[in-house]
């Protein structure tokens, strides 16, 4: 039986590749996409999500959730993802309608109506929608099978500030709720995503698929690589969010440690820092499988094979 997942997302070119990977994989049943404000405002992330579903030739329902973090003003990342959030090849205006229900209500209803332990949540953006659902309906928390998310950093420290990764920084109070929820967590921090760098060969392989999906993935990669290659001086760019879906498909590609991770919400200087007890120097209870390593070639082999199916 395929594993049931809900992808909570702020597309974002790397979110888009993650969504396509999930939609291409029969081991996963994507119940829905829930859009959140993050890389760009919500009106764009929900629209981008619908365009991505259509590009994959699917009809997966898309819900729109929170347009701002729980307690803060939204911080966006057009400087990385472009003004639409999905700059690259232009996609047709989506025909797939946006679901009328609010994404947070949808999360609550779906978790309540499925047997406990059968739904995995895959957040690829700020954790606002999931935290809002946990605050509104704490009874759903023990019903979540697992949360596999992209966010945080330990050795890489930060990308949006010197101390914090974007998804956690945008809504640190939401992240704190998730990390303290008691739900089994798997975290894909920058420490692993920065080992999953694109290469020219892979981008050309995508283009050579000769499909709309291959063209889109190649054009998105061309677009967002420019920011990371200029910043880090690397040959390619990290494909962050697809690590979440690849982990669900092939966990043996990844290595990590089950450790305690706390979120900084008080300090201006280190706001949104994921304080990860990688070296186990505290007696704080482990609350997350914090991933640090990836078989990079295996990861790109999986992506090529699956994206080629769409
Ligand atoms: C994360 O931030 C976003 O820009 C990407 O989509 C990814 O989810 C990386 O820090
Ligand atoms: Ca994202």
Q: What is the DSSP string of 162-223?
A: SS--HHHHH-HHHHHHHHTS-S-EEEE-HHHHTTSB--HHHHHHHHHT-SHHHHHHHHHHHH
Residue 33 pLDDT level (bands cut at 50, 70, 90): very high
Is the distance from CB of 132 to CB of 104 less than 8 angstroms?
Answer: yes
Q: Is 233 exposed, middle or buried (0-12, 13-18, 19+ CB in 10 A)?
A: exposed
Share of the chain above pLDDT 70, in %: 100
pLDDT band for position 228 (cuts 50, 70, 90): confident
Ligand 2 centroid, distance to 10 Cα (angstroms): 5
Comparing CA positions, the residue from 135, 122, 125 lying closest to residue 185 is: 122
Total structural domains within the chain = 1
Per-residue pLDDT reduced to its tens digit, 192-219:
999 999 999 999 999 999 999 999 999 9
CB within 8 A of 287, min separation 6: which ones?
179, 180, 182, 185, 260, 261
Higher pLDDT among residues 235 and 68, named by residue: 68
> If you measure from the C-alpha of residue 303 to the centroid of ligand 1, how many angstroms do you get, rounded to a whole number?
18
Give the other-Cβ count within 10 Å of 188's Cβ: 29
Distance CA 25, CA 34 (A): 19
CATH classification of the domain holding 31: 3.90.245.10
Nearest ligand 1 atom, CA 77: 4
Q: For residue 91, what pLDDT is reported?
A: 94
User: Is the CB–ligand 1 distance for residue 124 below 6 Å?
Assistant: yes
The predicted structure's pLDDT at residue 151 = 98
Tens-digit pLDDT profile for residues 132-171: 999 999 999 999 999 999 999 999 999 999 999 999 999 9
Do the strands 261-263 and 254-259 form a parallel or antiparallel pair, or are they unpaired? unpaired
- Taking only the tens place, the pLDDT of each residue in 229-247 is 777 877 788 999 999 999 9
Nearest bound ligand to the CA of residue 10:
2
- Ligand 1 within 6 A of 237 CB? no
Q: Among 88, 11, 17, which residue's Cα sits nearest to residue 242? A: 17
What's the half-sphere exposure (Cβ side, CA atoms, 13 Å) at 236? 20
DSSP string, 83-147: SSSS-SS--PPP-SPPPSSBHHHHHHHHHHHS-TT-EEEEE-S-SHHHHHHHHH-GGGGGGEEEE
- Min mean pLDDT across 57-66, 223-232, 245-254 is at 223-232
Token couple for 72: 């803060």
pLDDT on residue 232 = 80
CA distance 288 to 41: 29
> What's the confidence (pLDDT) of residue 256?
98
Q: Provide the pLDDT for residue 54.
A: 97
**Enzyme catalytic residues:** 240
C-alpha 293/C-alpha 286 separation (Å) is 19
Q: How far is CA 3 from CA 117, 119, 121, 230, 283, in A?
A: 11, 8, 11, 38, 34
Residue-level pLDDT at 248: 98
Mean pLDDT (the chain) is 96
- The model's pTM: 0.97
Residue 287 has pLDDT above 90, yes or no: yes
Neighbours of 305 (CB within 10 A): 11
Residues paired with 188 in a beta bridge: 150
Cα 308 to ligand 2 centre (Å)? 22
The length of the chain is: 310
Q: Indicate which atom in ligand 1 lies nearest the CA of residue 165.
A: 10
- Angle at CA 197, nearest 5°, toward 196 and 203? 120
Specify the ligand 1 atom closest to the Cα of 11: 6
CB distance 12 to ligand 1 below 6 Å: yes
Whether ligand 1 lies within 6 angstroms of the CB of 15 is answered as yes
pLDDT of residue 142: 98
Ligand nearest to the CA of 81: 1
Q: How far is Cα 88 from Cα 118, in angstroms, rounded to an integer?
A: 36
List, in order, residues 6 or more apart from 266 with CB less than 8 Å away: none
Q: Is residue 8 lining ligand 1, measured as CB closer than 6 Å?
A: no
Domain of 150, in residue numbers = 3-307
What pLDDT score was predicted for residue 124?
Answer: 98
């Amino acid at each position: 039986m395929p594993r049931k997942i809900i992808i909570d997302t702020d597309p974002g070119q790397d979110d888009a590749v993650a969504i396509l990977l999930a939609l291409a994989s029969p081991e996963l049943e994507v119940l829905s996409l829930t859009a959140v404000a993050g890389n760009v405002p919500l009106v764009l992330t929900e629209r981008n999500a619908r365009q991505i579903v259509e590009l994959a030739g699917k009809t997966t329902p898309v819900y729109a959730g929170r347009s701002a973090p729980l307690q803060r003003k939204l911080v966006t990342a057009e400087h990385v993802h472009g003004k639409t959030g999905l700059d690259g090849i232009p996609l047709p205006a989506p025909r797939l309608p946006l679901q009328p229900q609010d994404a947070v209500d949808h999360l609550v209803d779906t978790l309540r109506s499925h047997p406990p332990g059968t739904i995995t949540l895959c957040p690829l953006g700020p954790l606002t929608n999931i935290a809002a659902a946990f605050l509104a309906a704490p009874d759903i928390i023990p019903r979540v099978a697992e949360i596999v998310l992209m966010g945080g950093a330990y050795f890489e420290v930060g990308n949006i500030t010197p101390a914090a990764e974007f998804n956690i920084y945008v809504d640190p109070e939401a992240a704190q709720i998730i990390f303290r929820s008691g739900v089994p967590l798997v975290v894909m921090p920058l420490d692993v995503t920065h080992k999953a760098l694109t290469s020219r060969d892979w981008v050309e392989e995508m283009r050579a698929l000769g499909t709309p999906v291959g063209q889109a993935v190649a054009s998105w990669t061309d677009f967002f690589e420019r920011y990371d290659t200029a910043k880090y001086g690397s040959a390619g760019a990290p494909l962050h969010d697809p690590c979440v879906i690849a982990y669900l498909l092939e966990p043996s590609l990844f290595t990590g440690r089950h450790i305690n991770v706390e979120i900084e919400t008080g300090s201006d200087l280190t706001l949104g820092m994921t304080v990860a007890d990688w070296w186990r120097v505290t007696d704080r209870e482990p609350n997350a499988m914090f991933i640090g390593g990836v078989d990079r070639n295996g990861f790109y082999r999986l992506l090529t094979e699956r994206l080629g199916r769409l």
